[in-house]
Amino acid sequence: MQFYPPEYYDDARNGFTAIKTVPLASAMGAEILNVDVANITDEQFTQVEKALYHYKMIFFRNQQNMTIDDQEALTLRFGDFGTDAYTDGIEGHPNVQRLIKEASTVVDWIFGDGWHTDSPFMEQPPAVSMLQSLDIPPYGGDTWWSNTELAYNLLSEKMKDVIADLRVHMSAAWVLSNVNKGKPKLNDLSVGEIELTMNQKKMVEGWFHPLVRTHPVTGNKSLFCDTSYSMGIEGMTQDESRPLLDFLGEWATREDFNCRLRWEPHMLVIWDNRQCLHKAFNDYDGYRREMIRTIVNGETPV
């Protein structure tokens, strides 16, 4: 099976002249070659942005030159910094989050666990997220993504009609119950080394968003639904909404809609939260993993 015709992956056809793309999987994801991110040109950036919307997730290898300042500068080319609901950022860089799991840390729930789109419980969830890898375990710690535009497109026309006008309640209730599980008191908010400084009440209240959202740049529709934050559907009872959300959440992460990245140190990964879901793996106890994370402010989904 092929989801897209061969020309979908053709750099010349896509106008990628200043970069080279190497698809990671049939459904989504691509490595970008010939770019030194710390010294990216305007022409390259325009094509990188287009490649991101095309492939949903893109990555660059061997970006040893890249500093935190470079990542901030690249993030700002996409738009303003997004506000992270979970952390305050690091000293001197309030818009940069450091994701660390130490070798000695053993937790049931890691940052990014469970299929999700970033912070959809906010009125304006981040449009784009970026991770730069500093320390990577020798095995494990991969990240998975899933293409929610493809997931929407491959629904039957009847199902598309059924869900067209529905609004999904996005809330952090279930995720926070996992973060808090086994902790002696509710205010001990941490995931391993990562101190969480968030407004839990607001995150649980969450927000209602269109279940089918339209990308502000490409105009393409995608399924805005995950198995971590999608808690209900406006106007429906839980008995009614749960089976539908369970189906859509499973469907959105069907194996062949995925790509999976085996990290190396000094990679930079960028993904579009409006067109894909992602998930971290908690399978590298005994090894350290460290990422530098930034997010781009998003629009209110329509």
Which positions touch ligand OGA (CB under 6 A)? 99, 112, 118, 129, 131, 143, 278, 280, 291, 293
Whole-Å CA distances, 180 to 12, 174, 184? 50, 10, 9
Binding mask 74-113 for Mn ion (x = CB under 5 A): --------------------------------------x-
User: Rule CB under 5 A: which of 182-201 touch Mn ion?
Assistant: none
Question: CB 118 → ligand OGA: shortest distance, Å?
Answer: 5
Helix axes 42-55, 68-78, angle to 10 degrees: 70
Tokens at 239, concatenated: 């008995």
For ligand OGA, the closer CB: 118 or 272 = 118
Asked if 118 is part of the footprint of Mn ion (rule: CB under 5 A), the reply reads: yes
Count of residues interacting with Mn ion (CB under 5 A): 2
For 82, phi then psi, to 5°, come to -85, 160
Interaction partner, residue 143 (ligand OGA, Mn ion, none; CB < 5-8 Å by kind): ligand OGA
What SS3 state is found at 9? helix
Question: CB 272 → ligand OGA: shortest distance, Å?
Answer: 13
Question: CB 156 → ligand OGA: shortest distance, Å?
Answer: 30
- What lies within 8 Å, CB to CB, of 201 at 6+ separation is none
For ligand OGA, the closer CB: 244 or 276 = 276
Distance CA 273, CA 149 (A): 11
For ligand OGA, the closer CB: 31 or 135 = 135
Any idea what the Cα angle at residue 220 is, between residues 125 and 271, rounded to 5°? 45
